[in-house]
Amino acid sequence: MTEPTAGGLRGRVRHHREVLSAAKDATPEQRRALLDDVQDDKEDRRRAQRARPVPRWLARPGARRALAAIAVVPFACGMVTAYLAPESLPAVAAQLAGAAGLVAGLVLLRRATRLLTEVPDGDLDERELGERDQALGTAYAVLACCVGVVALAAIADGPLLDARAWEPMVIGTLFTALLLPSAAAAWRWRELDDADL
């Protein structure tokens, strides 16, 4: 099996295609070995990402907290879009803003927290495990509040409010749920040298 080249995403795609083509004609034992190699490569990439230092502008506690607020953008945009005409320009703009918030949140929050919420327990020390557990608890509480707001909007629909579509609310809540663990970790997480920033 060939090693992935330094071509970034294209190199990884080419590498995975080679692995898949090699797996077609392989015996079950060879397939297991190929799968183990792919999983080892994935773990090596994750460790390399975690070893990279966080950029100084992103390492500041104030920047992390401002970045954590991005997690609310898909939810807020979904709630707004639900009450707008489905094909109107403001609805499309709100949907695009929610999608941009999701992408920015996925990329920047993962980078700011060094994949804290996505790494196996064995790769974290005790302090990081404790911070991740606290972040997940906070994320679940905020998600429960978001679901509660959607439930209240469903109850108030008709007599008080007039939602045009429910899909944006649900999708916005789901997108926010993807971001909440990393956002909570970014909000609470402190590097050992945060006092020096």
User: Is residue 133, in this structure, part of any structural domain at all?
Assistant: yes
| Distances 80 to 33, 38, 121, 131, 164 between C-alpha atoms, Å | 50, 43, 38, 33, 10
In angstroms, the CA 103 to CA 91 distance is: 19
How much is the pLDDT for 95?
Answer: 95
88 and 172 share one domain: yes
Tell me the per-residue pLDDT of 27-53, one tens digit each, with 9 for 90 and over: 888 888 888 888 888 888 887 877 788
When pLDDT is cut at 50, 70 and 90, the band that residue 115 belongs to is: confident
How much is the pLDDT for 193?
Answer: 47
What share of the chain in percent tops pLDDT 70?
A: 91
In angstroms, the CA 187 to CA 10 distance is: 34
33 and 63 share one domain: no
How much is the pLDDT for 123?
Answer: 81
112 and 30 share one domain: no
User: Is residue 147, in this structure, part of any structural domain at all?
Assistant: yes
Tell me the per-residue pLDDT of 119-177, one tens digit each, with 9 for 90 and over: 888 888 898 889 899 999 999 999 999 999 999 988 888 767 788 888 999 999 999 99
| Mean pLDDT value of segment 182-197 | 69
148 and 79 share one domain: yes
Widest CA span in the chain: 64
In angstroms, the CA 76 to CA 150 distance is: 11
In angstroms, the CA 173 to CA 139 distance is: 12
Phi, psi (deg, nearest 5) at residue 45: -65, -40
Which conformational region is residue 8 in: left (phi greater than 0), alpha (psi within -120 to 50 degrees), or beta? left
Amino acid at 82: A
When pLDDT is cut at 50, 70 and 90, the band that residue 191 belongs to is: low
Tell me the per-residue pLDDT of 60-100, one tens digit each, with 9 for 90 and over: 888 889 999 999 999 999 999 999 998 899 999 999 999 99
Residue 110 has which token pair? 């993962």
All residues at 6 or more sequence positions from 190 whose CB lies less than 8 Å from its CB, including other chains: 61, 131
Number of domains making up the chain: 2
Whether the per-residue pLDDT at 3 is higher than 80: the answer is no
Q: Which domain holds residue 86?
A: 56-196
Looking at every residue in the chain, the average pLDDT score rounds to 85
How much is the pLDDT for 190?
Answer: 67
When pLDDT is cut at 50, 70 and 90, the band that residue 1 belongs to is: very low
Residue 68 has which token pair? 């954590």
How much is the pLDDT for 197?
Answer: 43
105 and 168 share one domain: yes
Residue of 8 and 82 predicted with greater confidence: 82
All residues at 6 or more sequence positions from 7 whose CB lies less than 8 Å from its CB, including other chains: 14
Whether the per-residue pLDDT at 110 is higher than 90: the answer is no
Name the strand (E) or helix (H) holding 108: helix 89-112
135 and 60 share one domain: yes
User: Is residue 1, in this structure, part of any structural domain at all?
Assistant: no
